A and B are shown apart, each in its own frame.
Chain A
Amino acid sequence: MRTRVGYSGGSAPSPTYHRLGDHSETIQIDFDPERVSYEELLYSFWASHDPRRAAWSVQYKNAVFVHDAEQRVAAERTRERMARALGAELHTEVLPAGRFYRAEGYHQKYRLRGSGPFAAEFEEFYPVEADLVDSTSAARVNGYLDGYGTIEQLEWEIDRLGLSASLSERLRAEVSRRR
């Protein structure tokens, strides 16, 4: 799985953080459907926000941007299910995916970049920024540092993350502490 943040949903050309135009802040995920289904991603999406709440602004709206007819069917189906379960009108939209613009480097893998020794190690692995952004390991470590995942999940994959022994221990300690 690879993740990146950016801007999408609008028509303004070449948006930036300070000149977003009519775009929204967006996350794009490349995933292997053999290992995780689109429905599982939708489940996480619906569980991560309150779809009854209207957005403060276009920048911060909630939406599923669907890439094909199959995704549209799944997204609409889960939206209807949520509306029935909550018994309320939903503000979260299902929209066709348009062009996605990568956000500036300093927004990518934000927690990882803010964690000095982790950032330094990943910059050694990946001197080219785009490679670091598209790293599955960087996405996983960024998530753990941001409070997601369990110690059991970390133990299952820690050897595959490629961290030095000292940073592996540090990440273990961090994830264990918040149980």
Chain B
Amino acid sequence: MSAPRAEEAGSERAREVCRIPPIDREIPGLLSTATFALG
């Protein structure tokens, strides 16, 4: 079997990216971390 052509690989990648929820594609600012224990 021949290797996929570059544009085919590219469009496959584009399809994968499109499946990621838009809210997860937003670029966040500098994130801080908070940690809590809630029994």
A residues neighboring B (CB under 8 Å): 2, 8-9, 24-35, 38, 41, 45, 48-49, 55-57, 59-65, 67, 71, 97, 100, 124-126, 135-137, 140, 157, 159-163
Size of B's binding interface in residues, CB under 8 A: 19
B35: min CB distance to chain A, Å: 4
Please determine whether A28 and B34 come into contact, CB atoms closer than 8 angstroms: yes
Closest 5 CB pairs of A and B: A162-B21, A60-B39, A137-B21, A65-B35, A160-B23
User: Which of A9, A33, A48 sits near B38, CB closer than 8 Å?
Assistant: A48
Please judge, given known A-B contacts A31-B32, A32-B29, A33-B32, whether A62 and B24 are in contact too, CB under 8 Å: no
Q: Specify which chain A residues have a CB less than 8 angstroms from the CB of B26 in the assembled complex.
A: 136, 160
Give 18 A-B contacts (CB < 8 Å), ordered by A residue: A26-B35, A30-B33, A31-B34, A32-B28, A45-B38, A48-B38, A61-B37, A61-B39, A62-B39, A63-B37, A65-B37, A67-B32, A124-B19, A125-B20, A137-B21, A159-B22, A161-B23, A162-B20
Question: Of A9, A41, A140, A163, which is within 8 A of B37 by CB?
Answer: A9
Query: B residues bordering A, Cβ < 8 Å?
Result: 19-24, 26, 28-39
**Structural contact, B33 and A27, CB atoms closer than 8 A:** no
B30 — which chain A residues lie within 8 A by C-beta?
32-33
Determine if B34 and A62 form an interchain contact, defined as CB atoms under 8 angstroms apart: no
A162 and B24 contact, CB distance less than 8 A: yes
What's the minimum C-beta distance from B39 to chain A, rounded to whole angstroms? 3
Report the separation of the CA atoms of residues A67 and B28 in the bound assembly, to the nearest whole angstrom: 20
Task: Evaluate contact between B35 and A38: CB separation under 8 angstroms.
Answer: no
Give the docked Cα–Cα distance between A60 and B39 (Å): 4
Q: Could you tell me if A97 and B32 are in contact, using CB atoms closer than 8 angstroms?
A: no
Q: Which residues of B contact A34 (CB under 8 A)?
A: 29
Chain B neighbourhood of A136, CB < 8 A: 21, 23-24, 26
B7 CB → nearest A CB, Å? 23
By a CB distance below 8 angstroms, the chain A residues around B24 are: 135-137, 162
